[in-house]
Amino acid sequence: MKNKEANKQLTLDILKTVAVLSIIAIIAGALLGVVNYFTQVDEMELLTKKISESGIYQGDGDLSPIEIGDGNKFVYHVFKYENTYVIHCGGDGGYKGEVQILMNITDGKIVNVQKYSSNETYTSKVFAEKFLTPFYNKDLTEVQSFIMVKDKADEDKEISAISGATKSSTAVLNAINNGISWYLSEGGTNE
């Protein structure tokens, strides 16, 4: 008899425990849902804010997002106003992975590049004007893509790597080339 009552009590204890844990899980799930709803970050809103704050685009009109297609896995978002494109793209090959940039192409020429995100150690060097200026104001239909050289750059297509930050330089160059590739195949040259 005692064994039967003990088993019955054990079964009741197990059912109570399961019920209590189920109620806790339901309450925790509901609370997480509420927190997620109120703290969810809209990626497009964040990107638009970053574009506005970075100064990458200083035109008079409002940029509008456009469809980017599937041609380049490193191009994430593109915004356009008339003959200006702001491209959010990335490039691999960095010491710590991918570097993401915002680049402004106006009238078929790069006019500005800004960092969007990077874990690279030498971002201050690879996003300094000294490194970025050689990319600017060159006809992209003639250049097509840039190449990295370790010595002094002699041609329009050549970019000198930053000593001690070759991998970071390469990641930025790859990001820029990815943006150029999209622009030449999908963007401004097809209008």
pLDDT score, position 71: 64
pTM of the model: 0.76
DSSP the chain: -HHHHHHHHHHHHHHHHHHHHHHHHHHHHHHHHHHHHHH---HHHHHHHHHHHHTS---SSPPEEE---SS-TTEEEEEEETTEEEEEEEEEEETTEEEEEEEEEETTEEEEEEEEE---TTHHHHTSHHHHGGGTT--HHHH-S-EEESS---STTEEEPPTT-HHHHHHHHHHHHHHHHHHHHHSGGG-
Of the candidates 90, 100, 91, 106, the one whose C-alpha atom is nearest the C-alpha of residue 57 is 106
Strand order of the sheet with strand 84-94? Answer: 64-66, 75-81, 84-94, 97-106, 109-117
Q: Which residue has the tokens 């790069």?
A: 110
Per-residue pLDDT of the chain (191 residues; tens, 9 = 90+): 678 887 888 888 899 999 999 999 999 999 998 888 887 777 778 888 888 888 888 888 888 888 877 767 899 999 999 999 999 999 998 888 889 999 999 999 999 999 888 877 767 888 888 899 999 999 999 999 999 888 777 777 888 888 888 888 899 999 999 999 999 988 765 54
pLDDT tens readout for residues 137-188? 999 999 999 998 887 777 778 888 888 888 888 999 999 999 999 999 887 6
Give me the pLDDT at residue 127, please: 87
Distance, CA of 184 to CA of 179 (rounded, Å): 9
Cβ-based neighbours of 97, under 8 Å, separated by 6 or more: 119, 171
- In this prediction, residue 97 carries a pLDDT of 81
CA terminus-to-terminus distance, the chain: 89
Residue 166 burial (C-beta neighbours within 10 Å; 0-12, 13-18, 19+): middle
